[in-house]
């Protein structure tokens, strides 16, 4: 393990966060404009944008009897790496 790798990871993660915020702002602007214009699909020479409405169905544990939950629940295990940067403390003179 290299501390250099962890520092580079934290720097890259900060950059990614900034870019994700920028992408989300553009996505929101495009979606708002398409909806206000009543357009569901746009096509250009090198892109296409389409508004889709998706439907998902789910059941919450609290909404079903325990025997039903235990019978039909599915368990998924994943591995996560959690790296957090310590907050810099400012020393007062």
Q: Is the pLDDT reported for residue 89 higher than 90?
A: no
Both tokens of 48, joined, read: 């296409």
Query: 50 pairs with which residues across the strands?
Result: 41
Both tokens of 1, joined, read: 């393990």
Number of domains in the chain: 1
pLDDT of residue 92: 60
| Domain contains 45 | yes
Both tokens of 19, joined, read: 């870019």
Range of the domain at 58: 3-72
pLDDT (tens digit per residue) in 9-65: 999 999 999 999 999 999 999 999 999 999 999 888 888 999 988 898 888 999 999
| Domain contains 85 | no
Q: Which residue has the tokens 């990871």?
A: 9
| Domain contains 90 | no
| Domain contains 77 | no
Q: With contact defined as beta carbons under 8 Å apart, do 49 and 34 qualify? A: yes
Q: Which residue has the tokens 């790496």?
A: 81
């Amino acid at each position: 393990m290299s501390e250099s790798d962890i520092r580079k990871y934290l720097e890259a993660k900060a950059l990614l966060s900034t870019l994700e915020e920028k992408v989300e702002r553009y996505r929101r602007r495009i979606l708002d404009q398409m909806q206000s214009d009543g357009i569901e699909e746009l096509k250009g020479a090198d892109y296409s944008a389409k508004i889709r409405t998706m439907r998902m169905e789910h059941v919450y544990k609290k909404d079903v009897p325990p025997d039903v939950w235990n019978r039909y629940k599915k368990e998924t295990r994943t591995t996560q790496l959690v790296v957090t940067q310590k907050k810099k403390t400012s020393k007062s003179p």
